[in-house]
A and B are shown apart, each in its own frame.
Chain A
Amino acid sequence: MTFTLPSLFLALFLNLLIAPAWAGIEVREFPDPRLEARYQDLIEELRCLVCQNQSLADSKADLAEDLRDEVYTMLMAGKDDREIIDFLVNRYGDFVLYRPPVKTTTALLWFGPFIALLGGIFILWFLTRKRRPETPSALSEEERRRLDSLLKDRQDNP
C-alpha cells in the first residue's frame, strides 16, 4: 500500500481535528474490564454542567474532570450506578442527566415531539381532506334519460 503525500497530509490534518476530543481525558486503571465499562457508560450518561452540550466523558472542563474523579472513586468504593447517579442528581439536579426522568417539568421534553408529530399528521389530514374531488351527485331522472339517448345515438351511428 502506498500513500501519496497529499493523503498523508490530509490524514495528519484530520488527526489534528480529532485530537482535542481525547487529549484532556485522563487515563484510569481498573481492576476489572466490567468496572471500566460501567465507568464509561456512566460518564457518557452524565452531562457536563459547564459546557452543557457535552457529556462528562467528552468534556475537558475542570469541573468535568473533578466529577469524573468522583464517579471513579465511588465506583472503586463499590457503589452501584444508582447511588452514583443519585449523588450527582442531589447536587446538580436532573439537568446532569442526559435522559431526565419523566416529571411534570420534563413532560414537554418527553412528549413534545410526539405531540408535534400528531399535530402535523392532523394538519396534513385536514388540508388534504379538502382537496379530494367531490363525488358526483346522482343524475336526475331527466339527465339519465338524456344520457341514455346520447349513448343510444352513439351505438346506432358509430
Chain B
Amino acid sequence: MLKYILPLGLFIGLLILLGVGLTLNPREVPSPLVGKPAPGFQLTRLDNAEQPVSEEIFQGRVTLFNVWSSWCTACRQEHPVLMDLARRGEVTLIGLNYKDSRAAARSVLEHSGNPYRLSAFDADGKVGIDWGVYGVPETFVIDRHGIVRYKHIGPVTAQIWEEKLAPLVRYLEKQS
C-alpha cells in the first residue's frame, strides 16, 4: 500500500511546490524599507529647479510616493489610474521623476495631466538607489509619520488600488 502512497505523496508534494513557485512573482523583491522611515533626500521640484524637496514632504499625510519616468512605458499605462485617484482626491500623490530630463518629464505632465501634488527630480537616479528602486514604476505607501508601509512594484492598476493600496491607505488615514 505504502508502495503506491509514497510516490503519489511525493508527486503531489512536488506539484504543490512547483505550483507555489510558479505563481510567485520573482519581480516582487520584498523591500527592506518597509517599516522604516523614508530614506532622506535633497532634491528639487521637477517644475522648479530652485525649490528644494526633502523627505519632510511626507510628514502629516498619507502619501503614495510614485517613481516614474517619461521613458517608462508601464508608467504611461498607470498614468490614467493615478489621474483618477488624484481627481477623486483619494490620496496625496508625490512623484519621484527618476533618471529623466526635466523637459521630457514636464511635457508628459502637460500632455496627459499631472496627478502629483509635486514631483521631485532625481536626474542621476541616486535617490532611486537609496530607495531601492530597480524597475520603474514603483509605488511606496508612506504613512503620516514618514514611515514606509508598503511597496508596490509595477504599474498601479485599478484592481491593485482597490485590493491592495486603498485598504492600507484608508487604514493608515484612520490612525492618528
Which chain A residues have a beta carbon within 8 Å of chain B's beta carbons? 49-50, 52, 62-63, 66-67, 70, 89-93, 95, 123, 126-127, 130
In the complex formed, the residue of B with least CB distance to A89 is B32
- Asked whether, in the complex, the Cβ of A93 is within 8 Å of the Cβ of B31, the reply is yes
Sorted from nearest, which 6 A-B pairs have the closest CB atoms?
A: A49-B134, A91-B132, A93-B32, A95-B29, A92-B132, A63-B134
Which chain B residues have a beta carbon within 8 Å of chain A's beta carbons? 3, 6, 10, 26-27, 29-33, 39, 99, 124-125, 129-135
In the complex formed, the residue of B with least CB distance to A66 is B125
Asked, given contacts A49-B134, A62-B99, A63-B134, whether A90 binds B32 with beta carbons under 8 Å apart, the answer is: yes
- Asked whether, in the complex, the Cβ of A93 is within 8 Å of the Cβ of B132, the reply is yes
CA distance A141 to B132 in the complex (A): 84
- Please name all residues of chain B whose beta carbon is closer than 8 Å to the beta carbon of A92 when the two chains form the complex: 29, 32, 132, 134
> B152: shortest Cβ distance to chain A, in Å?
15
Q: List 28 A-B contacts (CB under 8 A).
A: A49-B29, A49-B135, A50-B134, A52-B26, A52-B27, A63-B125, A63-B134, A66-B124, A66-B125, A66-B129, A67-B129, A70-B129, A89-B32, A90-B32, A91-B32, A91-B39, A91-B129, A91-B130, A91-B132, A92-B32, A92-B132, A92-B134, A93-B29, A93-B30, A93-B32, A93-B132, A95-B30, A123-B6
In the complex formed, the residue of A with least CB distance to B135 is A50
Query: Is chain B's interface secondary structure helix, strand, loop, or mixed overall?
Result: loop
- Please name all residues of chain A whose beta carbon is closer than 8 Å to the beta carbon of B125 when the two chains form the complex: 63, 66
> A85: shortest Cβ distance to chain B, in Å?
13
A50-B135, A89-B32, A127-B3 known, 11 other contacts, Cβ within 8 Å: A49-B134, A50-B134, A62-B99, A66-B124, A67-B129, A90-B32, A91-B131, A93-B30, A95-B30, A123-B6, A130-B3
CA distance A62 to B128 in the complex (A): 12
In the complex formed, the residue of A with least CB distance to B13 is A119
- Please name all residues of chain B whose beta carbon is closer than 8 Å to the beta carbon of A63 when the two chains form the complex: 125, 133-134
CA distance A70 to B127 in the complex (A): 12
> A81: shortest Cβ distance to chain B, in Å?
18
CA distance A50 to B135 in the complex (A): 7
> A37: shortest Cβ distance to chain B, in Å?
24
CA distance A95 to B29 in the complex (A): 7
- Please name all residues of chain B whose beta carbon is closer than 8 Å to the beta carbon of A66 when the two chains form the complex: 124-125, 129
- Please name all residues of chain A whose beta carbon is closer than 8 Å to the beta carbon of B124 when the two chains form the complex: 66
> B71: shortest Cβ distance to chain A, in Å?
10
- Please name all residues of chain A whose beta carbon is closer than 8 Å to the beta carbon of B132 when the two chains form the complex: 91-93
In the complex formed, the residue of A with least CB distance to B2 is A126
Interface centre among A50, A62, A63 (most CB of B within 10 A): A63
- Please name all residues of chain B whose beta carbon is closer than 8 Å to the beta carbon of A130 when the two chains form the complex: 3
- Please name all residues of chain A whose beta carbon is closer than 8 Å to the beta carbon of B135 when the two chains form the complex: 49-50
